[in-house]
Structure 1
Amino acid sequence: MGSFVYKDKVYEIDENGFLLKPEQWDEDFARGMAPNVGIREELTHEHWCIMSFIRNAFSETGRCPMIHQIGKDCGLKLQDLKKLFPSGYLRGACKLAGLTYLDEEVHSSWLPSKRLIAATVPIQERKYRVNIRGFLLDPLSWDEEYAVFKAEELKMPALTEKHWQIIRFLREQFEKNGTIPTAYETCEANQIEIEDVGLLFPDGYHRGAVKIAGLSDR
Protein backbone atom coordinates (compact mmCIF):
# COMPACT_ATOMS: atom_id res chain seq x y z
CA MET A 1 0.00 0.00 0.00
CA GLY A 2 1.17 3.52 -0.69
CA SER A 3 0.15 6.85 -2.12
CA PHE A 4 0.56 8.80 -5.34
CA VAL A 5 0.52 12.59 -5.30
CA TYR A 6 -0.28 14.79 -8.28
CA LYS A 7 -1.37 18.43 -8.23
CA ASP A 8 -1.65 18.29 -4.43
CA LYS A 9 -4.10 15.38 -4.67
CA VAL A 10 -3.28 12.17 -2.82
CA TYR A 11 -4.39 8.85 -4.31
CA GLU A 12 -4.15 5.51 -2.50
CA ILE A 13 -2.38 2.90 -4.64
CA ASP A 14 -1.13 -0.64 -4.17
CA GLU A 15 2.46 -1.83 -4.55
CA ASN A 16 2.05 -2.01 -8.34
CA GLY A 17 0.63 1.48 -8.73
CA PHE A 18 -3.02 0.48 -9.19
CA LEU A 19 -5.63 2.73 -7.63
CA LEU A 20 -7.10 1.03 -4.55
CA LYS A 21 -10.41 2.87 -4.65
CA PRO A 22 -11.87 3.22 -8.16
CA GLU A 23 -14.23 5.97 -6.99
CA GLN A 24 -11.18 8.10 -6.14
CA TRP A 25 -10.24 8.26 -9.84
CA ASP A 26 -10.29 11.50 -11.79
CA GLU A 27 -8.59 12.74 -14.94
CA ASP A 28 -5.68 14.18 -12.97
CA PHE A 29 -4.83 10.69 -11.74
CA ALA A 30 -4.55 9.50 -15.34
CA ARG A 31 -2.49 12.54 -16.37
CA GLY A 32 -0.12 12.19 -13.44
CA MET A 33 0.30 8.42 -13.76
CA ALA A 34 0.77 8.46 -17.56
CA PRO A 35 4.58 9.02 -17.49
CA ASN A 36 4.91 6.06 -15.12
CA VAL A 37 3.41 3.74 -17.74
CA GLY A 38 5.58 4.94 -20.61
CA ILE A 39 3.40 7.73 -22.03
CA ARG A 40 5.62 10.80 -22.27
CA GLU A 41 3.37 13.01 -24.37
CA GLU A 42 0.04 14.54 -23.40
CA LEU A 43 -2.86 12.09 -23.35
CA THR A 44 -4.78 12.18 -26.62
CA HIS A 45 -8.45 11.83 -27.52
CA GLU A 46 -7.80 8.15 -28.30
CA HIS A 47 -6.36 7.57 -24.82
CA TRP A 48 -9.39 9.16 -23.17
CA CYS A 49 -11.83 7.21 -25.35
CA ILE A 50 -10.31 3.90 -24.29
CA MET A 51 -10.22 4.86 -20.62
CA SER A 52 -13.84 5.98 -20.86
CA PHE A 53 -14.79 2.67 -22.46
CA ILE A 54 -13.04 0.74 -19.68
CA ARG A 55 -14.69 2.74 -16.91
CA ASN A 56 -18.14 2.61 -18.53
CA ALA A 57 -17.87 -1.14 -19.00
CA PHE A 58 -16.84 -1.54 -15.36
CA SER A 59 -19.75 0.63 -14.25
CA GLU A 60 -22.20 -1.50 -16.24
CA THR A 61 -20.81 -4.97 -15.55
CA GLY A 62 -18.69 -4.67 -12.41
CA ARG A 63 -15.74 -6.05 -14.36
CA CYS A 64 -12.81 -4.58 -16.24
CA PRO A 65 -13.36 -5.36 -19.96
CA MET A 66 -11.06 -7.83 -21.68
CA ILE A 67 -8.48 -6.70 -24.21
CA HIS A 68 -10.19 -8.32 -27.18
CA GLN A 69 -13.40 -6.43 -26.30
CA ILE A 70 -11.47 -3.17 -26.58
CA GLY A 71 -10.12 -4.19 -29.95
CA LYS A 72 -13.52 -5.24 -31.27
CA ASP A 73 -15.68 -2.43 -29.87
CA CYS A 74 -13.18 0.38 -30.43
CA GLY A 75 -11.97 -0.87 -33.81
CA LEU A 76 -8.34 -1.13 -32.73
CA LYS A 77 -5.63 -3.55 -33.75
CA LEU A 78 -2.79 -4.85 -31.62
CA GLN A 79 -0.33 -2.26 -32.89
CA ASP A 80 -2.82 0.56 -32.21
CA LEU A 81 -3.12 -0.42 -28.56
CA LYS A 82 0.61 -0.96 -28.21
CA LYS A 83 1.32 2.51 -29.57
CA LEU A 84 -1.20 4.12 -27.22
CA PHE A 85 -0.32 2.10 -24.11
CA PRO A 86 3.24 0.74 -24.52
CA SER A 87 3.38 -0.84 -21.05
CA GLY A 88 0.39 -3.07 -21.80
CA TYR A 89 -3.38 -3.16 -21.55
CA LEU A 90 -3.55 -4.03 -17.85
CA ARG A 91 -0.41 -2.15 -16.75
CA GLY A 92 -1.20 0.83 -18.97
CA ALA A 93 -4.80 1.40 -20.05
CA CYS A 94 -6.53 -0.20 -17.06
CA LYS A 95 -4.13 1.38 -14.58
CA LEU A 96 -4.73 4.87 -15.98
CA ALA A 97 -8.49 4.22 -15.92
CA GLY A 98 -8.16 3.53 -12.20
CA LEU A 99 -9.11 -0.13 -12.52
CA THR A 100 -7.64 -3.60 -12.80
CA TYR A 101 -8.91 -6.96 -13.99
CA LEU A 102 -9.10 -8.00 -10.32
CA ASP A 103 -11.76 -5.36 -9.65
CA GLU A 104 -15.18 -6.99 -9.67
CA GLU A 105 -17.92 -4.90 -8.07
CA VAL A 106 -15.66 -4.17 -5.10
CA HIS A 107 -11.89 -4.01 -4.83
CA SER A 108 -10.27 -6.94 -3.05
CA SER A 109 -8.98 -4.58 -0.35
CA TRP A 110 -12.58 -3.91 0.70
CA LEU A 111 -13.39 -7.57 1.29
CA PRO A 112 -13.46 -8.99 4.84
CA SER A 113 -10.13 -10.62 5.61
CA LYS A 114 -11.74 -14.02 6.08
CA ARG A 115 -12.71 -14.03 2.40
CA LEU A 116 -9.10 -13.53 1.35
CA ILE A 117 -8.02 -16.86 2.81
CA ALA A 118 -6.57 -19.05 0.08
CA ALA A 119 -8.53 -22.09 -1.01
CA THR A 120 -7.06 -25.52 -1.63
CA VAL A 121 -8.18 -27.17 -4.86
CA PRO A 122 -7.67 -30.96 -5.06
CA ILE A 123 -6.93 -32.38 -8.52
CA GLN A 124 -6.41 -36.12 -8.86
CA GLU A 125 -4.97 -36.40 -5.35
CA ARG A 126 -2.84 -33.28 -5.81
CA LYS A 127 -3.58 -29.99 -4.10
CA TYR A 128 -3.03 -26.54 -5.53
CA ARG A 129 -3.41 -23.42 -3.41
CA VAL A 130 -5.31 -20.60 -5.13
CA ASN A 131 -6.40 -17.14 -4.03
CA ILE A 132 -9.96 -15.86 -3.86
CA ARG A 133 -9.87 -15.04 -7.59
CA GLY A 134 -8.79 -18.55 -8.53
CA PHE A 135 -5.17 -17.69 -9.39
CA LEU A 136 -2.49 -20.18 -8.38
CA LEU A 137 -0.49 -18.89 -5.42
CA ASP A 138 2.69 -20.83 -6.17
CA PRO A 139 3.60 -20.82 -9.89
CA LEU A 140 6.09 -23.62 -9.26
CA SER A 141 3.30 -25.99 -8.26
CA TRP A 142 1.74 -25.70 -11.74
CA ASP A 143 1.53 -28.66 -14.09
CA GLU A 144 -0.51 -29.53 -17.17
CA GLU A 145 -3.17 -31.29 -15.10
CA TYR A 146 -3.84 -27.99 -13.36
CA ALA A 147 -4.18 -26.23 -16.71
CA VAL A 148 -6.70 -28.80 -17.94
CA PHE A 149 -8.68 -28.53 -14.70
CA LYS A 150 -8.71 -24.73 -14.77
CA ALA A 151 -9.82 -24.69 -18.42
CA GLU A 152 -12.71 -27.02 -17.57
CA GLU A 153 -13.59 -24.81 -14.61
CA LEU A 154 -13.78 -21.85 -17.01
CA LYS A 155 -16.09 -23.96 -19.21
CA MET A 156 -13.67 -23.96 -22.12
CA PRO A 157 -13.56 -26.75 -24.70
CA ALA A 158 -10.62 -29.16 -24.70
CA LEU A 159 -7.30 -27.34 -24.90
CA THR A 160 -5.83 -27.40 -28.40
CA GLU A 161 -2.22 -27.13 -29.51
CA LYS A 162 -2.78 -23.40 -30.04
CA HIS A 163 -3.87 -23.05 -26.40
CA TRP A 164 -0.80 -24.96 -25.25
CA GLN A 165 1.43 -22.79 -27.41
CA ILE A 166 0.24 -19.69 -25.54
CA ILE A 167 0.34 -21.38 -22.14
CA ARG A 168 3.88 -22.69 -22.66
CA PHE A 169 5.04 -19.32 -23.93
CA LEU A 170 3.73 -17.64 -20.78
CA ARG A 171 5.39 -20.23 -18.56
CA GLU A 172 8.71 -20.05 -20.41
CA GLN A 173 8.85 -16.27 -20.31
CA PHE A 174 7.95 -16.19 -16.62
CA GLU A 175 10.61 -18.77 -15.78
CA LYS A 176 13.17 -16.88 -17.86
CA ASN A 177 12.41 -13.29 -16.82
CA GLY A 178 10.32 -13.57 -13.66
CA THR A 179 7.55 -11.49 -15.24
CA ILE A 180 4.40 -12.16 -17.22
CA PRO A 181 4.55 -10.99 -20.85
CA THR A 182 2.05 -8.33 -21.84
CA ALA A 183 -0.77 -9.32 -24.16
CA TYR A 184 1.08 -7.42 -26.89
CA GLU A 185 4.24 -9.47 -26.44
CA THR A 186 2.31 -12.73 -26.36
CA CYS A 187 0.39 -11.90 -29.52
CA GLU A 188 3.48 -10.79 -31.42
CA ALA A 189 5.61 -13.75 -30.36
CA ASN A 190 2.88 -16.21 -31.33
CA GLN A 191 1.75 -14.32 -34.44
CA ILE A 192 -1.86 -13.86 -33.39
CA GLU A 193 -4.17 -10.85 -33.13
CA ILE A 194 -6.02 -9.73 -30.01
CA GLU A 195 -9.22 -11.09 -31.55
CA ASP A 196 -7.62 -14.55 -31.50
CA VAL A 197 -7.02 -14.21 -27.76
CA GLY A 198 -10.75 -13.77 -27.26
CA LEU A 199 -11.51 -16.83 -29.36
CA LEU A 200 -8.95 -19.00 -27.59
CA PHE A 201 -9.57 -17.68 -24.07
CA PRO A 202 -13.13 -16.27 -23.77
CA ASP A 203 -12.46 -15.10 -20.21
CA GLY A 204 -9.64 -12.89 -21.44
CA TYR A 205 -5.87 -12.76 -21.44
CA HIS A 206 -5.32 -12.48 -17.68
CA ARG A 207 -8.50 -14.13 -16.40
CA GLY A 208 -8.08 -16.91 -18.95
CA ALA A 209 -4.63 -17.55 -20.42
CA VAL A 210 -2.55 -16.27 -17.51
CA LYS A 211 -4.75 -18.00 -14.94
CA ILE A 212 -4.59 -21.34 -16.77
CA ALA A 213 -0.80 -20.98 -17.00
CA GLY A 214 -0.72 -20.79 -13.21
CA LEU A 215 0.50 -17.19 -13.09
CA SER A 216 -0.77 -13.92 -11.68
CA ASP A 217 0.35 -10.32 -12.12
CA ARG A 218 -0.55 -9.51 -8.54
Structure 2
Amino acid sequence: DAEGFMTDPTEWTPEIAAVLAQEEGIDALTDDHWTVINFVRDEFDKTGQSPTLRAISKRSGVDTKTLYALFPKGPAKKVARIAGLSKPKGCI
Protein backbone atom coordinates (compact mmCIF):
# COMPACT_ATOMS: atom_id res chain seq x y z
CA ASP A 1 0.00 0.00 0.00
CA ALA A 2 1.03 3.68 0.11
CA GLU A 3 2.89 3.18 3.43
CA GLY A 4 4.81 0.12 2.27
CA PHE A 5 2.66 -2.56 3.90
CA MET A 6 1.89 -5.67 1.87
CA THR A 7 -1.74 -6.02 0.86
CA ASP A 8 -1.59 -9.81 0.43
CA PRO A 9 0.22 -11.63 3.28
CA THR A 10 0.32 -14.85 1.24
CA GLU A 11 2.85 -13.24 -1.13
CA TRP A 12 5.33 -12.74 1.74
CA THR A 13 8.62 -14.66 1.83
CA PRO A 14 11.60 -14.56 4.21
CA GLU A 15 13.56 -12.89 1.40
CA ILE A 16 10.98 -10.10 1.23
CA ALA A 17 11.26 -9.75 5.01
CA ALA A 18 15.02 -9.20 4.71
CA VAL A 19 14.50 -6.43 2.13
CA LEU A 20 11.76 -4.76 4.20
CA ALA A 21 13.95 -4.97 7.31
CA GLN A 22 16.77 -3.18 5.50
CA GLU A 23 14.30 -0.47 4.44
CA GLU A 24 13.45 -0.10 8.15
CA GLY A 25 17.14 0.26 9.07
CA ILE A 26 17.64 -3.30 10.32
CA ASP A 27 20.75 -4.70 8.64
CA ALA A 28 20.31 -8.38 9.48
CA LEU A 29 17.44 -10.36 10.97
CA THR A 30 18.57 -12.36 14.00
CA ASP A 31 16.93 -15.38 15.63
CA ASP A 32 15.17 -12.98 18.01
CA HIS A 33 13.76 -11.02 15.07
CA TRP A 34 12.48 -14.26 13.54
CA THR A 35 10.88 -15.32 16.84
CA VAL A 36 8.82 -12.12 16.80
CA ILE A 37 8.09 -12.21 13.06
CA ASN A 38 6.91 -15.83 13.19
CA PHE A 39 4.79 -15.14 16.29
CA VAL A 40 3.11 -12.16 14.61
CA ARG A 41 2.41 -14.14 11.43
CA ASP A 42 0.98 -17.07 13.45
CA GLU A 43 -1.29 -14.71 15.40
CA PHE A 44 -2.43 -13.08 12.16
CA ASP A 45 -3.25 -16.50 10.72
CA LYS A 46 -5.38 -17.27 13.80
CA THR A 47 -7.15 -13.93 14.21
CA GLY A 48 -6.89 -12.07 10.91
CA GLN A 49 -5.29 -9.09 12.67
CA SER A 50 -1.80 -8.01 13.62
CA PRO A 51 -1.32 -8.42 17.39
CA THR A 52 -0.81 -5.38 19.57
CA LEU A 53 2.58 -4.58 21.06
CA ARG A 54 1.28 -5.72 24.43
CA ALA A 55 0.14 -9.07 23.02
CA ILE A 56 3.49 -9.55 21.32
CA SER A 57 5.44 -8.83 24.51
CA LYS A 58 3.15 -10.97 26.70
CA ARG A 59 2.90 -14.05 24.48
CA SER A 60 5.96 -14.19 22.22
CA GLY A 61 8.53 -14.53 24.99
CA VAL A 62 10.22 -11.29 23.92
CA ASP A 63 9.80 -8.43 26.40
CA THR A 64 8.90 -4.86 25.44
CA LYS A 65 12.40 -3.48 25.99
CA THR A 66 13.86 -6.11 23.67
CA LEU A 67 11.14 -5.44 21.08
CA TYR A 68 12.17 -1.78 20.98
CA ALA A 69 15.82 -2.82 20.63
CA LEU A 70 14.98 -5.21 17.77
CA PHE A 71 12.50 -2.91 16.01
CA PRO A 72 13.35 0.68 17.07
CA LYS A 73 10.83 3.54 16.89
CA GLY A 74 7.57 1.62 16.66
CA PRO A 75 8.03 -2.13 16.99
CA ALA A 76 4.40 -3.16 16.36
CA LYS A 77 4.26 -1.23 13.10
CA LYS A 78 7.73 -2.29 11.95
CA VAL A 79 7.32 -5.97 12.73
CA ALA A 80 3.93 -6.04 10.97
CA ARG A 81 5.47 -4.49 7.85
CA ILE A 82 8.48 -6.83 7.88
CA ALA A 83 6.18 -9.82 8.51
CA GLY A 84 4.18 -8.91 5.40
CA LEU A 85 1.01 -7.94 7.24
CA SER A 86 -1.27 -4.93 7.08
CA LYS A 87 -0.74 -1.93 9.32
CA PRO A 88 -1.89 -2.73 12.87
CA LYS A 89 -5.03 -0.99 14.08
CA GLY A 90 -4.18 1.96 16.29
CA CYS A 91 -0.85 2.68 14.60
CA ILE A 92 -0.47 6.19 13.24
Give, in angstroms, the shift of residue 188 of structure 1: 1.1
Give, in angstroms, the shift of residue 164 of structure 1: 0.2
Q: Deviations over 1:131-174 (max 9, x none)?
A: 11111111111111110000111121210000000000011111
Structure 1 residues 1-218: aligned runs within 5 Å: 131-216=1-86, 217=88
Task: State the aligned residue count.
Answer: 88
- Contact kept? 1:166, 1:190, Cα under 8 Å: yes
Give, in angstroms, the shift of residue 184 of structure 1: 0.9
Q: Distance in 2 between matches of 1:190 and 1:139?
A: 20
If each structure's strand is expressed as a fraction of its own residues, which one has the higher value? 1
TM-score, with structure 2 as normaliser? 0.86
Q: Percent identity?
A: 35
Which AA in structure 1 matches 2:16?
Y
Q: Which has the higher contact order (CA 8 A, sep 6+)?
A: 2
Aligned to 1:15: none
Deviating runs (4+, > 4 A) in structure 1?
none
Larger radius of gyration: 1
Which AA in structure 1 matches 2:52?
T
Give, in angstroms, the shift of residue 207 of structure 1: 2.9
Q: Distance in 1 between matches of 2:36 and 2:76?
A: 12
SS at match of 2:18: helix
- Contact kept? 2:57, 2:63, Cα under 8 Å: yes
Any unmatched runs of 5+ in structure 1?
A: 1-130
- Contact kept? 2:52, 2:76, Cα under 8 Å: no
If each structure's helix is expressed as a fraction of its own residues, which one has the higher value? 2
TM-score, with structure 1 as normaliser? 0.38
